[in-house]
Amino acid sequence: MRRRNARFSYVLWILFPALLAGCASQKPPSAQFATLPEARRGFVTKVTYSKVVKEPVEQAPPTILRTLKYPAPSGELAAYVTPDPGDGKKHPAIVWITGGDCNSIGDVWSPARRENDQTASSYRQAGIVMMFPSLRGGNDNPGVKEGFYGEVDDVLAATDFLERQPYVDPKRIYLGGHSTGGTLVLLVAECSNRYRAVFSFGPVDNVAGYGADPAFLPFDISNEKEVQLRSPGYWLASIQSPVWVLEGADGTVNNAGSLRKMYHTTHNSMTHFLEVQYADHFSILAPTNTFIAAKILEDTGATSNLQLPQGKVNENFGR
């Protein structure tokens, strides 16, 4: 993931949604489909671009993360997973989807600058089991990238795998992601209620805002339905588990406009939107993930009581 830790690799991906703010309807595109799973049922996406450079998955230090394969609809896909701590306990776990080329995984174990820690290292440092799944068409995986469509099924398959690990508490599995990964996990939350809570950092409401680069949106973006089924802003009413959407309010590089739009266009009580003061799209990650990790460790009841008060989150960035 070294190649994806630099800010410049994200700039256009963040600015395009801001430039196109206001162009997307936030209501389901058809009264025929009340939820995203209903709208996806029977739909076959048409990928128009599949040219990729195959990159083998870098082997993680085995004492930090296991490098392995998990079964998914698209084939055996690579992943990094926290090894069994060997204490005989069931631990909370989180599936984490990185940004940029979120189909691929790379170095998420090397120390990162606190102002731009896209490795979400706070969770494993707190003793929470982590899984970083690669997705169809990423690295040297089978399948082709579909750009926020079939990847939803891969994330769910990764969760199936994580749930079966003997040292994971299957009732305390969380989901998180950043930027493009944040958009993807929001779509997953709209398709499944299996997560105890979901944390979506810096997503967009409409993927058309990512621009016309076929390496990231490998389908006909002029096809309205293809775009709608990949755009979480249309389907917020589908969410049935606690979801937090977070973005920094500072800087020219952020998706705060998408966050505000989704906040103003949904009445779903399961959704929470935090626009964090004095943080930007990248600096929000480390302090907020540290705060969330502590909350996960406290979240031990039969159902989740995890809360992220706006004031407490902002305190991590006070000036």
Which CATH number fits the domain that encloses residue 233? 3.40.50.1820
**pLDDT given at position 42:** 94
In the prediction, which pLDDT does 27 show?
56
* For residue 275, pLDDT beyond 70: yes
Condensed to tens digits (0 to 9), the pLDDT of residues 229-250 reads 999 999 999 999 999 999 999 9
| 144-159: pLDDT as tens digits | 999 999 999 999 999 9
Pairing between strand 91-97 and 129-133? parallel
Q: How big is the CA angle at 298 (ends 300 and 292), to the nearest 5 degrees?
A: 120
Residue 251 Ramachandran class (φ > 0 left, ψ -120 to 50 alpha, else beta) = left
Residue 32 banded pLDDT, cuts 50, 70, 90:
low
CB 280 within 8 A of CB 228: no
Domain with 27, as residue range(s), is 2-300+308-315
Closest CA to 82 of 73, 72, 92: 92
Q: Is 120 helix (H, G, I), strand (E, B) or coil?
A: coil
Least confident of 29-33, 34-38, 68-72, 79-83: 29-33
* pLDDT 10s digits, 164-180: 999 999 999 999 999 99
Cβ contact 77:135 at 8 Å: yes
Q: How confident is the model at residue 213 (pLDDT cuts 50, 70, 90)?
A: confident
Residues of the chain with pLDDT > 70, as a percent, come to 89
What does the alpha-carbon distance between residue 258 and residue 233 come to, in Å, rounded to a whole number? 8
* Count of domains observed in the chain: 1
pLDDT in the model for residue 6: 33
260 burial level (CB within 10 Å; 0-12, 13-18, 19+): middle
pLDDT of residue 28: 55
**CA-based max dimension of the chain:** 53
Backbone angles phi, psi at 36, to 5 degrees: -65, -45
In this structure, the number of other CB atoms found within 10 A of the CB of residue 296 comes to 23
pLDDT over threshold 60, residue 226: yes
Confidence of residue 16 (pLDDT cuts 50, 70, 90): very low
pLDDT, average across residues 272-287? 96
0.85 exceeded by the pTM?
A: yes
Q: Quote the CA–CA distance of 231 and 26 in Å, as a whole number.
A: 9
Contact 24, 207 (CB under 8 A): no
Query: 13: closest CA among 185, 204, 205, 188?
Result: 204
Neighbours of 82 (CB within 10 A): 23
| Nearest residue to 66 (alpha-carbon basis) of 147, 168, 156, 201 | 168
